[in-house]
Amino acid sequence: HYGKDQLDQAIKYFAKVVDEDPIPDALKQNTLFSLAQLSLGQGDYAQTLTYLDRWQAVVGDDSAQKADVLRAQALYQKGDYQQALAPIQRAIAAAEKSGEAGDENWYVLQRAIHYELGQTAEVAAILEKMVKHFNKPEYWVQLAGVYGQLGQDQQQLAMLEAAYQQGFLTKGQDLQMLVQSYFFGGIPYKAGKVMEQAIAEGKLDADLRNLKLLAQSWIAARETDRAVAALEQAAALSDDGELDAQRAQVLLNAERYEPAIAAA
């Protein structure tokens, strides 16, 4: 039945196996764990936990790690997030105690549980481990975003800068987050360079919002020619004269009176 993907029937006959008495402990252990896994796959989370309890009674605590992961998955799917936290923490702690990282999906699950519980600082802590152990681009970006939520702007900028240098920031929204971090972090020249390149490569649209931020970055960086060009582009998309007025002020400050008059 299992080979034919008839899981309901497979569960039925696996259950008959463990009801036999007596049967070897090894057979009972393996069958009960299979029943827990199959029940999880079928979305029967309460039954999953029942089979895990029966399995644990047979094996004791020596092989608890894989059961902890399964238990955490079942509790998470049930929406019992607080109860799901302890078993996945135990599984990861046991792996790290042996000097190894646990399975990547374990960390993904713990991060999801903390997120559902609204524990933003704990989400950051688990993402820090995920960056260290697995070094995937999305984990760098996610951690930067969480630092932003926590108001840790310097840490956010550091993560984004490091991710950018590694070539991990390829999406427009990620590059925009870096530009904003540079700008509000007092590094407008880098904000302008990244925005300019992203627009040139088509990763960010040359729309009014982005061109205004580009112009503001060049103004703050005292890059007059670049600021004037960006303001002129942005003004062409605007339905009022504010950006032309801003361009006139920039030109006036640079003592370029004729173009300042024209802009005004």
Query: What parts of the chain have a pLDDT lower than 50?
Result: none
**In Å, how far are 51, 120, 162, 217 from 184, measured between CA atoms?**
54, 22, 17, 10
Determine the pLDDT at residue 4. Answer: 87
Encoded tokens for 165: 């240098």
pLDDT at 42: 86
Q: What angle do CA 84, 102, 61 make, to 5 degrees?
A: 60
Q: What pLDDT, on the 0 to 100 scale, is given for residue 5?
A: 84
Residues 57-109 pLDDT 10s:
777 665 577 888 989 999 999 999 999 999 999 999 988 888 888 899 999 99
> What's the whole-model pTM score?
0.79
According to the model, what pLDDT value does residue 60 have?
66
Give the pLDDT score at 228. Answer: 96
> Which residue in the block uniquely carries the two structure tokens 């951690």?
143
- pLDDT at position 206 is 95
Helices marked H in the chain — which ranges? 7-19, 25-41, 45-59, 64-78, 81-97, 104-116, 120-134, 137-149, 153-165, 172-184, 188-200, 208-220, 224-237, 242-253, 257-263
Check residue 225 and give its pLDDT: 94
